[in-house]
Structure 1
Amino acid sequence: MTTERARSRVWNTKKLRATVTPGRSIASGPSLDVLDGLTCGPGVDALPARAARHAPHRVAIRAGGSEWTYGELDARVTRCAAGLRELLPDLGSVVAVPAVADPAFPTALYGTSRSGNISVVLNPLWREDGLAHALRTSRAQLAVVTPQMYRVLCDIRFHLPYLDTVVLTHPTDDAPGVPVLGDLAPRTPTPPAAPRVLPDAVACVMFTSGTTGASKAVMLTHRDLTVNAAQTAFAHQLDGRSVTLNCLPTYHLMHLNSSVCALAKQVLHPGGDPAGSVQAAVDNGVTHYYSLPVRLAQLAMAQAGADRRKPVPTLRAILSGGSALPVGRADELARRFRVPVVQGYGLAETSPLSLCDPLDAPRKGSCGVPLPGTECRIVHPDTREVRPLGETGEVELRGPQLMKGYLDAEPLAPDAWFATGDVGRMDGEGRLYLVDRIKDVFKCDNFLVSPTEVEAVLRIHPAVDDCVVVGREDPLRGALACALVETGDPDVAAEDVAAFVNGRVPYYQRLWRVEIVDRIPRSATGKVQRLDLRDRVARWTLPARPPENSTEGEG
């Protein structure tokens, strides 16, 4: 049976479902056997090589009106690898590659693997501090950068003692003599053979989002990445007929690997214009629309007044990740596009995807069930005892996609459970529902306050377009809830918004101050920078009492 026929058979007969230990919040995904040959290896660069063997003429990537087939992509990877071997003769060198929405990213990423070296993924939107932290922490010896990143790099190069060589993704007039990725090629007619790769060797270093502190360097092996590519392709029901639209400012490693694993076509659309993304989806016959919650919320609002025809006839699903998509926005998108809106859950430490809502039966507010071979459980954050079904606690994960460990730290033990730092609960079907980050939850009068719960009440207000709640430290009560709010109504008063919420929540969740802002500060991937916001809110002057339209209650 061919790989494509096997994949079709598996997806038509097996659903992504979890099994749950009775009475305890432990859920297990199906056995890895259901992937039935989707994994390949041992190196992550085997993904494009396999795709080139099976479908050399199929379009792999479309970006900016240009296309690259799988055969062309794999040839670029081989040429890049040979060039890197000459620049870095010692195997196991560290190569930084930018996750730019361009074929330069897969070329550099897979080329680094094929050359026997380790890649470090850089966010192309980072400024001086972020770029310096990643390059210095990873001890990168060669960095592939965009022209924009090169200008930033010039200002910090003196502080990067390990960095010897810089390669540009595209030529630029202000960097004469700097080599360009597309020109890398062996100077000898017979380049050296690709080195043998061990599945459990480190393939890639990813950095955590750093929303609650300094970013950590996560070591992912070849096995981690190739297994997670197959897990994701299975969960998202990707195959050779799929066309994915990546409406993202950067190129996400998960979307790249899973699409290449499935032999799917990827359309890169880094711009955030909702109308433009819908038109791109129509023009390309897109089946899977990937984006961030902040962009999907904008898409939902932009489509609210459109006619009732299905905007993208070929579309099968809208998939959200990175942070929680508000349920109301997900409902609007599902009604407008007439497809399921699916939430997943993962972290850099899990390569990244760990759970995903089934495309055929998504559940409101859920981020899904464990992927094949993956286990999820809920534990008490202090005692680490497994919590009963329905009760909240810290989410722990275990599976074949779990990282090797953090750079410069002890590696994880085999079959170790990873504490995610997220608070959630599990239902009887093995679905996970996230409540908040442990570091984001705070106490007021010894009551736990979940910012997400208060934000849900804020979004009920008709004038609130977006919001974020953080705790401001208080010497007597622990912390007091404060909020930043986006609104399209210039006449709405901050005190009225606070009073609206305070009449609907327990006293310890009341908002002591609301500030109307033009835009909620977020990272390039749409995540709220709560650490910075807590510093900002700490400088606010609070009233003697919170705005209210009800009595104080207990306390």
Structure 2
Amino acid sequence: MPRFAYPQLPLDGLLRRAAERDPDGCAVRTASAAATFAELDALTDRFAACVTHLAGGPGARIGVAGVLGPEFPAAYYGAMRGGGTAVLVNPLIREAGLVHVFTAAAVEVAFVPSATAEVLTKLRDRLPALRAVVVTDADDGVVPGDCVPLAVALAVPSAAVPAGLTGPGPDLDADACVQFTTGTTGRPRGVRLTHRNLVANAAQTAAAHHLDSRSVTLNHLPLYHTMHLNSAVFAGACQVLCADPDPLASLALAARSGATHYYGLPARLQRLAGMLAGTGPRPEGVPAGPELTAVLSGGTALAPATAHALSSRLGVPVIQGYGMAELSPLSHCQSPGDGGHRGSVGRTVPGTECRIVHLDTRRPMDVYATGEVQVRGPQLMAGYLDGPDGSGAGPDGWFSTGDVGYLNEDGELFLVDRLGDVFKHDNELVSPTAVESVLAEDPRVADCVVVGWPDPVHGAVTWAGIVLRDPTAPGLLDTLDSIVDGANRRLARFERIRRVEVVDAVPRTPVGKPERRALRQALRGRAAAEAAV
């Protein structure tokens, strides 16, 4: 295992350290407010006092909605500082998702916005562990049901804060956070991340992204992500939160704020690239800002052509990384200095190892050979809420990610697809993502999704669902045939599209990943019905 040093602190101790080093430095800035590290640390103390007052005792699970505002980091770190475990809550999920998260994690106290509080009020009889709901955006004091406005919840006597409260003390292997998987390959699972996991990954991410105390990060994200929060606090960097979904507005804010790092989702970066198409290297009226050093994409894959086009327009590298909730979450990242090879997700972050194993024999494979990606490092989770103790890694520490890819001679990782998404045609592995990337280059294709259609002779054949840019144009069948013919000329024999349909839309997760699981199930049913005729 590569040697890698990181602080032996509880996660909330990183904020305390930042406040001691640079109390007046900007920690978080929004359109309407800003907080220094000292102010954020003091607010975290108040949240910690609130947690100790409302929770049933040490070790309580505290739900924290990932809203894009300063209340999130204070509640997140405050949950830990108050002796609890923060449970990340996506405020965009629906009733069934909230019930699953709150029940699986046995959440006792929740810090959520009004919209989520209203839903929880209706669900209280199904959530017996939930003791209190604190509404974080109730400025007028009006809250649903028996929820509590944040101002009231924070009005706890200072005596309620234990002296020297700084988290769980020496037990860095205690759970700090529970983060749920996206659920693209099954029901979301609660991932238990320790203080050691998260502090290590904060240090790894800061090193990989080249963050330091002079850095200013612009977060153009719909929700707060703990990777960006923890790495910035570790480095003592300022975070600028942009709630405006307009990509051009976010770019202008980055310039005004002197942002050095711009974080965005692929869907938004794709839109930004389209807006900037045809302009000069530096779009007039929308400068990237002279301090900007990199645009960083995460959540799902950004098409290499889009990354290249955006990099050319802005004059800075557009880079990607790789990880998952089980890895706290980052394991790989391209370098902000050069971006790495086109299409890769970069090398491992410090202190991390990666290898590729054969899908069947599980033996390690040579460079450029495709197989399952395995990772090991200090950021690997403690385990799942619904599983036995342990990280899920083998006795030698290697964790199987469920992703398929290959390594080049420089150690850069190239992802092919999810293990559950790839399929075999005549024993050759087909990547739906690779076929989709070819289809997407046809200007007549607005969106597309690819899965395997069961076939008794070949195992499976490629099925494509295509969203046309102009579905009302005459000659629909001729258009589809032309699109497929053009794609098939660029695909290997075993990848070629054998079935195609026009679809109204491609169902996607909040971060833009195609929801293939339900589609595969539907197609299996249709294939079986065809075979029975």
Q: Output the TM-score relative to the length of structure 1.
A: 0.87
Distance 1:512 1:130 in 2: 36
Q: Deviations over 1:258-289 (max 9, x none)?
A: 01111111111234322111111122111111
Aligned CA distance change for structure 1 residues 415 and 66 (closer, same or farther; 3 Å): farther
- The Cα shift of 1:473 comes to 2.8
Letter in 1 for 2:370: T
Aligned to 2:237: 264
Letter in 2 for 1:430: G
- 2:142–2:149 CA contact under 8 A, matched in 1: no
Match of 2:144 among 170, 175, 187: 175
- The Cα shift of 1:354 comes to 0.5
- 1:100–1:124 CA contact under 8 A, matched in 2: yes
Aligned to 1:109: 76
- 2:300–2:511 CA contact under 8 A, matched in 1: no
Distance 1:528 1:271 in 2: 25
- The Cα shift of 1:541 comes to 8.3
Distance 2:377 2:257 in 1: 35
Letter in 1 for 2:176: A
Distance 2:101 2:380 in 1: 21
Aligned to 2:193: 220
Match of 2:298 among 311, 321, 324: 321
Aligned runs of 1:455-470 on 2, under 5 Å? 455-470=436-451
Aligned to 1:377: 355
> Is 1:340 aligned with 2:325?
no
Distance 2:504 2:237 in 1: 39
Aligned CA distance change for structure 1 residues 392 and 284 (closer, same or farther; 3 Å): same
Match of 2:113 among 146, 153, 174: 146
> Is 1:293 aligned with 2:269?
no
- The Cα shift of 1:520 comes to 2.9
- 1:249–1:525 CA contact under 8 A, matched in 2: no
Aligned runs of 1:506-521 on 2, under 5 Å? 506-517=492-503, 519-521=505-507
Aligned to 2:520: 534
Letter in 2 for 1:444: H
> Is 1:32 aligned with 2:4?
yes
Q: Percent identity?
A: 46
- 1:40–1:46 CA contact under 8 A, matched in 2: no
- The Cα shift of 1:487 comes to 4.4
- The Cα shift of 1:41 comes to 4.3
Stretches of structure 2 that go unaligned for 5 or more consecutive residues are none
- The Cα shift of 1:415 comes to 5.5
Match of 1:353 among 330, 353, 365: 330
- 2:28–2:70 CA contact under 8 A, matched in 1: yes
- The Cα shift of 1:102 comes to 1.2
Q: Deviations over 1:34-71 (max 9, x none)?
A: xxxxx434211112111111111111111233111111
- The Cα shift of 1:301 comes to 0.9
Does the residue aligned with 2:64 lie in a helix, a strand or coil? strand
Distance 1:239 1:402 in 2: 24
- 2:117–2:147 CA contact under 8 A, matched in 1: no
Match of 2:172 among 195, 199, 205: 199
Does the residue aligned with 1:45 lie in a helix, a strand or coil? helix
- 1:140–1:162 CA contact under 8 A, matched in 2: yes
Q: How many residues align?
A: 511
Distance 2:434 2:314 in 1: 27
Distance 2:322 2:127 in 1: 34
Q: Deviations over 1:21-41 (max 9, x none)?
A: xxxxxxx7x6314xxxxx434
Letter in 1 for 2:144: A
Distance 1:191 1:81 in 2: 7
Distance 1:487 1:241 in 2: 46
Aligned to 1:409: 387
Q: Deviations over 1:365-408 (max 9, x none)?
A: 11111111101011112221100111111000000110011114
Aligned CA distance change for structure 1 residues 100 and 536 (closer, same or farther; 3 Å): farther
Distance 1:163 1:174 in 2: 17
- The Cα shift of 1:312 comes to 0.9
Letter in 1 for 2:274: M
Distance 1:176 1:408 in 2: 31
Aligned to 2:11: 44
Aligned to 2:48: 81
Aligned to 2:432: 451
Aligned to 1:504: 490
Distance 1:507 1:430 in 2: 29
Match of 1:186 among 150, 153, 156: 156
- The Cα shift of 1:336 comes to 0.5
Q: Pairwise CA RMSD of aligned residues? A: 2.3
Does the residue aligned with 1:77 lie in a helix, a strand or coil? helix
Aligned to 2:288: 312
Distance 1:351 1:525 in 2: 17
Q: Output the TM-score relative to the length of structure 2.
A: 0.90
Q: Deviations over 1:176-204 (max 9, x none)?
A: 65223344142354632325431111111
- The Cα shift of 1:359 comes to 1.4
- 2:358–2:365 CA contact under 8 A, matched in 1: yes
Which stretch shifts more, 108-117 or 196-205?
196-205
Distance 2:462 2:174 in 1: 46
Aligned to 1:161: 128
Aligned to 1:386: 364
Aligned to 1:3: none
- The Cα shift of 1:94 comes to 0.7
Aligned CA distance change for structure 1 residues 180 and 43 (closer, same or farther; 3 Å): farther
Letter in 2 for 1:251: Y
Aligned CA distance change for structure 1 residues 74 and 220 (closer, same or farther; 3 Å): same
- The Cα shift of 1:166 comes to 1.1
Higher RCO, 1 vs 2 (CA within 8 Å, ≥6 residues apart): 1
- The Cα shift of 1:465 comes to 4.0
Distance 2:51 2:38 in 1: 20
- 1:444–1:479 CA contact under 8 A, matched in 2: yes
Aligned to 1:64: 31
Aligned CA distance change for structure 1 residues 251 and 190 (closer, same or farther; 3 Å): closer
Letter in 2 for 1:48: L
> Is 1:130 aligned with 2:97?
yes
Letter in 1 for 2:406: R
Distance 1:180 1:92 in 2: 24
- The Cα shift of 1:149 comes to 0.9
- 1:482–1:537 CA contact under 8 A, matched in 2: no
- The Cα shift of 1:93 comes to 0.7
Aligned CA distance change for structure 1 residues 190 and 326 (closer, same or farther; 3 Å): closer
Does the residue aligned with 1:121 lie in a helix, a strand or coil? strand
